[in-house]
Structure 1
Amino acid sequence: MTNFKKLSILFLIILLVGLLWWIIILLQTFPKKYNFSELKNSKGTTAIVVLTGGKMRIEKGLSLLKKGFGEKLFISGVFEPSDIETKYGLKESQDYLLQCCISFGQKATNTIENAIEVEKWLEGSNEVDKLILVTSYYHLPRSMIIFEKKLPDLLIFPVKAENKIDLVDEFIFHFRLIISEYFKVLYTIITIK
């Protein structure tokens, strides 16, 4: 067997072991590591940040805001603020949320730009010391890597947008997402500054 074949096999084994590690982290370890329920009774100001781009993200952020888990909500990414009222069911009695508590960032097109957008939103605001980060389950680990690097002074609690994930029903869809995100995490770990 040539050295190239040996190196190729070794590389493939490392890649597969890493993928197995990633799946365990994503589905078992990561969700259990973070518990944001104690935030409700903690001191300081908590902001909720929603990264757009997936199902149920904005709904989860609005739900957390309405339940009092955060004082402010920032929706980062390409999104029209005018749609929020009609699309996400803010009734007239809840319009005050749009006036007092919800802000939008519309320039970010990827996770690093989301973090930069949030950083700019928080500039000059020394009152926020905790962040609830809402995005899809598969996107949380990479988002955490980026946000912890860009916002090191904040305590960040990741929250998955989905209440229930049915991996069996749409196995191919979720498998492709998980594989794609695995390589994005590797790239992020190598390149994040």
Structure 2
Amino acid sequence: MSPTLQRIGYVTLGLGAIATLALVAGFLIFAESIARDERTLDGRADGIVVLTGGAQRIGDAIDLLAGGYGRRLLITGVNERTSRDEIARLNPTQRHWIECCVDLDYRARNTIGNAIETRRWMRQHRFNTVAVVTSNYHMPRTLVELDHALMGKDRVLPHPVIAEGFDADRWWRHPGTARLIGSEYLKFLVSWLRTRFESDPEQSRAAIMMGRGKPIKLVSESIMRAQY
């Protein structure tokens, strides 16, 4: 092998090693940044939005609404077979709030869609601030998508929900948790990179491709799990 080819090989290996170290370091920083505890919102917002998919998210969001932390609540990513009456039936003590102040979004099929529908909803109600409720490991990517959709003009208050059995402090001891964090980290990187190049999520080719044939998350299942 010629000296030139050897040098190219060494440079390639060196760059690969640096990229690997950067990826690992980024993962460790990401894992450390995940919220460990649920905290009371730092202030009140005009509206509240909750992304379906986690067992505790819906109940926590309705509690925030009842507590006066927002004037209306948007549940985004609702299954098309789930009605307002079903949600009220599964949360009988919160029926008043569900009937008066909860909006259901049936269109969003992924986090990009959640951000788009949140923007539309905020514009419809002329809201400038929103509290967002989702799982702690999903919050970083959600904030990236919301910041991109809202163009940084509106204030977002995160309210991360800690899933039962999710141990962010000792994730390396639990293969399932480690895989979940690793998967979410890669999705976070893709979202961050994509939003550097896209000017408007509603024109996102990635959103269209990701949404094709993907079923909408089941709100009713999440609420029922939260009841028991």
Query: In the TM superposition, what whole-angstrom CA distance separates every residue of 1:82-126 from its partner, at most 9, and x where no partner exists?
Result: 431122x223xx433223200000111101100111122223322
Q: Which has the higher contact order (CA 8 A, sep 6+)?
A: 2
Matches within 5 A, 1:108-123: 108-123=108-123
Matches within 5 A, 1:1-193: 2-3=9-10, 4-27=12-35, 36-39=41-44, 46-79=46-79, 80-81=82-83, 82-87=85-90, 89-91=91-93, 94-126=94-126, 128-151=127-150, 152-162=152-162, 166-167=166-167, 168=170, 171-192=174-195, 193=198
Cα displacement (A) at 1:165: 5.9
- Tell me if the contact between 1:51 and 1:114 (Cα under 8 Å) persists in the aligned partners: yes
Alpha-carbon distance in structure 1 between the residues aligned to 2:30 and 2:183: 11
Cα displacement (A) at 1:163: 7.1
Alpha-carbon distance in structure 1 between the residues aligned to 2:179 and 2:89: 32
- Tell me if the contact between 2:132 and 2:156 (Cα under 8 Å) persists in the aligned partners: yes
Query: In the TM superposition, what whole-angstrom CA distance separates every residue of 1:113-160 from its partner, at most 9, and x where no partner exists?
Result: 00111122223322x221010000001011011111211322100111
Give the alignment's Cα RMSD to 1 decimal: 2.5
Instruction: Tell me the number of residue pairs that the alignment of Structure 1 and Structure 2 aligns.
Output: 181
Alpha-carbon distance in structure 2 between the residues aligned to 1:20 and 1:163: 20
Cα displacement (A) at 1:37: 3.4
Cα 1:190–1:154 change in 2 (3 A) is same
Alpha-carbon distance in structure 2 between the residues aligned to 1:85 and 1:162: 23
- Tell me if the contact between 2:55 and 2:163 (Cα under 8 Å) persists in the aligned partners: no
Cα 1:163–1:185 change in 2 (3 A) is closer
Gaps of 5+ in 2: 1-5, 199-228
- Tell me if the contact between 1:49 and 1:61 (Cα under 8 Å) persists in the aligned partners: yes
Residue 66 of structure 2 aligns with an amino acid whose one-letter code is: K
Who is 1:42 aligned against?
none
TM-score (norm 1): 0.83
Who is 2:222 aligned against?
none
Alpha-carbon distance in structure 2 between the residues aligned to 1:63 and 1:114: 21
Query: In the TM superposition, what whole-angstrom CA distance separates every residue of 1:35-66 from its partner, at most 9, and x where no partner exists?
Result: 72332xxxxx6211000011211011011111
Alpha-carbon distance in structure 2 between the residues aligned to 1:136 and 1:156: 15
- Tell me if the contact between 1:35 and 1:157 (Cα under 8 Å) persists in the aligned partners: no
- Tell me if the contact between 1:46 and 1:130 (Cα under 8 Å) persists in the aligned partners: yes
Alpha-carbon distance in structure 2 between the residues aligned to 1:123 and 1:24: 34
Cα displacement (A) at 1:179: 0.5
- SS of corresponding position for 2:34: helix
Gaps of 5+ in 1: 40-44
